[in-house]
Chain A
Amino acid sequence: MGEYGLNLLPVGKAAEVVRIQAGELIRNRLLDLGLVPGTIVEAVRKNPAGDPVAYKIRGALIALRSEESRLVTVRPVE
């Protein structure tokens, strides 16, 4: 219900991490960056070319390419 890839999160909006669908290596890396299920992520700004996008994750600004961010499933939050 209303779940989508983090890469589709519009700038200025926030969403909650539901799960990560990636191989072990990338999954570990994304978890290490703080993308644990339940985490609130906000898309802060976008490269003019569209990629990468800077996300606010647990107090830090982290840029992700859509190759990685699409592996993170999120759901909208109020």
Chain B
Amino acid sequence: MGGTSSYPGVFVFLDELKRDVGRKADAVIALGGNPNTGKSTLFNALTGLNQHTGNWPGKTVVLAKGTYRHRGKEITVVDLPGTYSLLANSADEQVARDFICFGNPDATVVVADATCLERNLNLVLQVMEITPKTVLCVNLADEAARKKIKINYGKLRELLGIPVVPTVARDKTGLEELKNILDQVIFSEMKQLQPRPPVYDEEIEAALAQLQAEVEDLCQGKLNSRWVALRLLDGDPALLNNICHYLQRTGQNGRPSPAEVWRRVNYGQRHLGREIQ
């Protein structure tokens, strides 16, 4: 079972998820976050006993799925592995990233540790780069208060442009608010949702703009073209393979061949090289 199988595990998992929840779930949300942020405690608090775990096909990564009901709707929650990053150095990170970008969850919650919020924001920004439907859950708020850490949630909301909810998953504080916010994000186009993902150096932005224009039609609105352009510049081969698979699965007409994608990547990279020299 190699990670380089022609049919990436992510799609096996997604097919299975669709079969499982397709009929009864009204929405699917992904739960991500750094390790040791209480992510799984939050998952348990949200879903109670309505959960089961399974393996990500082809990788020894355990994923838990669960459901909860809120305002008459059934919400499926997927508990992703705890990661520091989505740039995929490990199987865990690859699984988390693949689910967020190809699983097309209706919302993604990033759980952060209130006692060291700063180091969690890296992941928050990475998720925001993929999907605008991101909610930040600042967990362990009680521990932060005990350590005399004061968090300006209003400012955080303003700077990130996404909903921010303080919680104490252990005793279920803030859970109702989290569910309410998710309900709004998923079912009623939330007006205050104006994420502000990172802006890069001029040179990178210029190359990005050009590459983004190249891949725009390939993405067909199925993937965030800016994010795809960024990853193409990274040149991560495993991800490029998955992007091609994904677009070939979802595309009705004009399915891009990997060669075509590569042609466009090289174009963008050449442009970037010129700008830097």
Please list the residues of chain A having a beta carbon within 8 angstroms of any beta carbon in chain B: 25, 28-29, 32-34, 57-60
| Contact assessment for B89 and A58 in the assembled complex, using a CB-CB cutoff below 8 Å | no
Shortest Cβ distance from A28 into B: residue? B87
**Can you sample 20 A-B contacts with CB below 8 Å?**
A25-B89, A28-B85, A28-B87, A29-B85, A29-B89, A32-B87, A32-B122, A33-B119, A34-B119, A34-B122, A57-B119, A58-B116, A58-B118, A58-B119, A59-B115, A59-B117, A59-B118, A59-B119, A60-B116, A60-B119
Closest beta carbon of chain A to B204's beta carbon, Å:
16
Closest beta carbon of chain B to A71's beta carbon, Å:
15
Interface size range on B against A:
10 to 19
Interfacial chain B residues near A28, Cβ < 8 Å: 85, 87, 89
B85, B89, B116, B122: the one contacting A59 at CB < 8 Å is B116
> Secondary structure of the A side of the interface?
mixed
CA distance A25 to B237 in the complex (A): 13
B104-121 vs A, Cβ < 8 Å mask (1 yes, 0 no): 000000000001111100
CA distance A55 to B89 in the complex (A): 21
Interfacial chain A residues near B89, Cβ < 8 Å: 25, 28-29, 32
Closest beta carbon of chain B to A75's beta carbon, Å:
21
Interfacial chain B residues near A29, Cβ < 8 Å: 85, 89
Closest beta carbon of chain B to A26's beta carbon, Å:
9
* A-contacting residues, B55-92, CB 8 Å: 84-85, 87, 89
CA distance A72 to B85 in the complex (A): 19
CA distance A33 to B35 in the complex (A): 11
Shortest Cβ distance from B149 into A: residue? A59
CA distance A60 to B122 in the complex (A): 14
Interface centre among A29, A32, A34, A60 (most CB of B within 10 A): A32
Interfacial chain B residues near A58, Cβ < 8 Å: 116, 118-119
Shortest Cβ distance from B235 into A: residue? A24
Closest beta carbon of chain A to B168's beta carbon, Å:
18
Shortest Cβ distance from B123 into A: residue? A32
Closest beta carbon of chain A to B143's beta carbon, Å:
12
CA distance A34 to B116 in the complex (A): 11
The answer to whether residues A33 and B118 also contact, given A25-B89, A28-B89 and a CB cut-off of 8 A, is: no
Closest beta carbon of chain B to A10's beta carbon, Å:
24
CA distance A32 to B85 in the complex (A): 6
CA distance A25 to B238 in the complex (A): 14
B92-109 vs A, Cβ < 8 Å mask (1 yes, 0 no): 000000000000000000
Interfacial chain B residues near A32, Cβ < 8 Å: 84-85, 87, 89, 122
